């Protein structure tokens, strides 16, 4: 027996060797489609199909449960995508939310400098240096052509608000949800009467005009974030909160089924840190295209509230009634992507097995994330009593969980189809069911079958869901 490579090492293999396996499964089964496909598509925007929207909603629900519902110290918020343009000046996004862009002199392709092969070790200073391309001998990965010196490219999308399109009417599509939580700090704190430490959680769309989007839904121009801002006493308490949040966030992915060896954490080097950050650590996943960020945990110090207080003239200090102190809270942020998380769960759940000489594709998704929890299948669709019983069962199950009926193939094929989309349980109604009032419940992972009375099926499914809950 060979020993597996150490957890988190470069030798850890991805769950699928080739990303195309996931892209084609997604298209074929209705998880993700290219946006505006009949017009040739639009780069870096993807649409979620019937199964994808269920999966992503389940991911968001699982995050909300862990971050808001289960906690007494975190509350939710849903701020607008469009905000006062001054927010983005104050936050530093107008001035410096940019990536270094280089362009090939022959094929005209554009790249993010820090993502070019051979640019892995570039420092923040290198990324701004006009001579960096020469110094590191970088060339176009497409045709080997000469690359331009880097220039900063701002990633924010702009539009105009109101009927006049001039400089004064520019507004931005938010590139992160976090700023909505900062500018609402007082509103939320006062209305919910939360005491520091407390957090504000948000899920919502963000937009970035990425230079080199790609790898399917990994990097998109329109995507959804799941971010939580935790307001803490300055200094040591903030550092301590950071050390609690990092393992907690990593554990969340594991609790929903991500293979622990395919997760690791990576601390930002001092030169990589954003100017305001005290500390930043990424939770990374071993994607088929390498180790990449899944989520970032950041200690942002007092930068955000201090800057917004100064620029708006509003006092954003917190008054601690216990110590009678006024202070500007520090912020520990957990910043995840809903699309990236759903993508990770999808990849990590994929497996191919051989069962009785045949290939079986299974998505071993956690039951809470699976698009359908249960499929109700007739063994004989020609018998109206069987079909009718199936529909009654499905309707009853659907009051509590996503349940689907399918009679479009023979039972073996129906099972395989449900395996491939991750449905944890199939309920089969056969001729005997009409006599003995029982059905067969088949488990996706073990493929074992159990006879359960019709009256007890729903309870059995709900009990299994409950038992699987982290
Ligand atoms: P990168 O360095 O990869 O551009 P980032 O460090 O700028 O990412 P953050 O600003 O910390 O990313 O965003 C928080 C999270 O939002 C990321 O960990 C990721 O899950 C998600 N995210 C960011 N940009 C995108 C994108 N273009 N497409 C999909 N998800 C994204």
**What's the whole-number mean pLDDT along residues 243-247?**
98
Query: Of 340, 341, 342, which is best to mutate to test ligand 1, by the most ligand atoms within 8 angstroms of its C-beta?
Result: 340
Query: Of 293, 297, 298, which is best to mutate to test ligand 1, by the most ligand atoms within 8 angstroms of its C-beta?
Result: 293
Least confident span in 126-130, 203-207, 245-249, 421-425: 126-130
Q: How far apart are CA 372 and CA 55, in angstroms?
A: 9
Work out the pLDDT band at 2, boundaries 50, 70, 90: low
Q: Could you report the per-residue pLDDT of 197-208, keeping only the tens digit for each?
A: 999 999 999 999
Buried/exposed code over 125-163 (b: 16+ C-beta within 10 A; e: otherwise): ebbebeebbeebebbbeeeeeebeebeebbbbeeeeeee
**What's the whole-number mean pLDDT along residues 421-449?**
97
Ligand 1 atom 23, closest CA:
337
User: Residues 148, 133: contact at Cβ < 8 Å?
Assistant: yes
Compute the distance from residue 202 Cα to the ligand 1 centre, in Å.
Answer: 15
Atom of ligand 1 nearest to the CA of 227: 14
pLDDT tops 60 at residue 1: no
Ligand 1 atom 11, closest CA:
296
Work out the pLDDT band at 276, boundaries 50, 70, 90: confident
CA distances from 264 to 7, 249, 315 (A): 8, 12, 39
Across the chain, mean pLDDT equals 95
Ligand 1 atom 26, closest CA:
219
pLDDT tops 60 at residue 30: yes
**What's the whole-number mean pLDDT along residues 240-248?**
98
Least confident span in 51-60, 164-173, 335-344: 164-173
Least confident span in 6-15, 178-187, 304-313: 6-15
Q: Could you report the per-residue pLDDT of 110-127, keeping only the tens digit for each?
A: 999 988 988 888 888 888
Residue predicted with more confidence, 154 or 7 = 154
Q: Could you report the per-residue pLDDT of 39-48, keeping only the tens digit for each?
A: 999 999 999 9
User: Residues 59, 338: contact at Cβ < 8 Å?
Assistant: yes
167 phi, psi to nearest 5 deg: -50, -40
Ligand 1 atom 19, closest CA:
337
Q: In a 10 Å sphere around its CB, with 0-12 CB exposed, 13-18 middle and 19+ buried, how is residue 184 labelled?
A: middle
112 phi, psi to nearest 5 deg: -85, 120
Q: How far apart are CA 282 and CA 335, in angstroms?
A: 9
pLDDT tops 70 at residue 350: yes
Compute the distance from residue 155 Cα to the ligand 1 centre, in Å.
Answer: 12
Can you give the length of the chain in residues? 470
Least confident span in 165-169, 346-350, 439-443: 165-169
pLDDT at position 292: 96
Pocket residues: Cβ below 6 A from ligand 1: 176, 208, 210, 219-220, 223, 225, 293-296, 335-337, 339-340
24 phi, psi to nearest 5 deg: -75, -35
């Amino acid at each position: 027996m060979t020993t597996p490579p150490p957890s988190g090492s470069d030798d850890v293999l991805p769950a699928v060797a080739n990303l195309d396996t996931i892209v084609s499964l997604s298209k074929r089964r209705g998880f993700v489609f290219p946006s505006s496909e009949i017009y040739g598509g639009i780069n870096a925007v993807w649409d979620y199909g019937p199964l994808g929207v269920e999966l992503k909603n389940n991911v968001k629900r699982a995050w909300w449960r862990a971050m808001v519902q289960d906690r007494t110290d975190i509350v939710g918020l849903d701020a607008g995508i469009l905000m006062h343009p001054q927010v983005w000046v104050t936050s530093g996004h107008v001035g410096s939310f940019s990536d270094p862009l280089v362009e090939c002199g022959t094929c005209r392709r554009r790249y993010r400098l820090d993502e070019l092969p051979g640019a892995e070790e570039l420092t923040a200073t290198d990324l701004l240096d006009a001579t960096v391309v020469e110094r590191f001998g970088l060339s176009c990965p497409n045709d080997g052509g000469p690359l331009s010196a880097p220039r900063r490219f701002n990633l924010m999308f702009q539009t105009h608000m109101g009927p006049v399109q001039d400089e004064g009417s520019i507004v931005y599509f938010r590139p992160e949800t976090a700023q909505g939580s900062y500018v609402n700090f007082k509103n939320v704190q006062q209305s919910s009467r939360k005491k520091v430490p407390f957090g504000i959680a948000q899920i919502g769309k963000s937009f970035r005009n990425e230079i080199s989007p790609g790898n399917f839904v990994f990097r998109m121009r329109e995507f959804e974030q799941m971010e939580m801002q935790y307001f803490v006493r300055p200094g040591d308490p903030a550092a301590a909160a950071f050390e609690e949040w990092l393992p907690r966030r990593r554990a969340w992915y594991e609790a929903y089924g991500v293979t622990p060896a395919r997760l690791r954490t990576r601390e930002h080097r001092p030169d990589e840190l954003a100017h305001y950050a005290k500390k930043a650590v990424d939770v990374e996943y071993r994607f088929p295209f390498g180790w990449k960020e899944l989520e970032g945990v950041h200690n942002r110090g007092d930068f955000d509230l201090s800057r917004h207080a100064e620029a708006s003239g509003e006092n954003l200090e917190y008054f601690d009634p216990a110590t009678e102190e006024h202070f500007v809270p520090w912020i520990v942020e957990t910043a995840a992507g809903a699309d990236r998380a759903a993508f990770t769960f999808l990849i990590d759940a994929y497996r191919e097995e051989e069962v009785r000489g045949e290939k079986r594709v299974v998505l071993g998704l956690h039951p809470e994330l699976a698009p359908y929890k249960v499929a109700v299948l007739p063994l004989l669709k020609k018998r109206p009593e069987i079909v009718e019983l199936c529909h009654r069962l499905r309707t009853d199950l659907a009051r509590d969980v996503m349940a689907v009926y399918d009679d479009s193939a023979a039972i073996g094929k129906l099972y395989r189809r449900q395996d491939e989309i991750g449905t944890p349980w199939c309920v089969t109604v056969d001729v005997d069911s009409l006599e003995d009032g029982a059905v067969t419940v088949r488990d996706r992972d073990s493929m074992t079958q159990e006879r359960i009375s019709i009256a007890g099926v729903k309870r059995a499914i709900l009990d299994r869901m409950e038992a699987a809950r982290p």
